[in-house]
Amino acid sequence: MVRKQIKNIPEPEIFTLDCPTQQVLDIVCSKWSVIVIYCLAFGTKRYNQLQGKIEGISQKMLTQTLRNLERNGLVERQVFPVVPPRVEYSLSALGETLVEPLCFLADWTDTHIEAVKSARDRYDTDNQTDG
């Protein structure tokens, strides 16, 4: 059965390592990248503001995530020559185009998170081992 959304797309023979889908998923499909983009969608932030807003992200991971997003042209980093230096991060024009598809994913989450949780509880109950 072919899904409604993709009925007009020929099924790819193979998902190669070179295909754009795999490449872009490497970029945007880290949990932290998505959260940082979503966070910056509300406006420019300093490093410490990001760190304060995103619970559970380590300094190393936040630095890596920002560098990766900057490298891929999604985030812009601006350094102000003051003492101490102030560094601000914002979405680039390209990064802004990613907000809408990510919002669809967030909408899906809001709608379906309870169903996912129930499925997980059922699975864990069915697969629990004694002792």
Q: Which is nearer to a copy of itself, 83 or 126 (CB)?
A: 126
What's the CA gap between 53 and 109, in Å, rounded?
Answer: 20
Cβ contacts of residue 79 below 8 Å, gap of 6+? Answer: 85, 86, 87
What's the CA gap between 60 and 85, in Å, rounded?
Answer: 19
Q: Which is nearer to a copy of itself, 83 or 111 (CB)?
A: 111
Q: To the nearest whole angstrom, how small is the minimum distance from the Cβ of residue 80 to a copy of itself?
A: 18
The residue ranges that bind a copy of itself (CB under 8 A) are 1-3, 5-6, 11-17, 20-31, 34-35, 38-39, 41-44, 52-56, 70-74, 91, 94, 96-113, 115-116, 118-120, 122-124
Q: Which is nearer to a copy of itself, 5 or 131 (CB)?
A: 5
Is 74 in contact with 94 (CB distance < 8 Å)? yes
What single letter denotes the amino acid at residue 92?
A: S
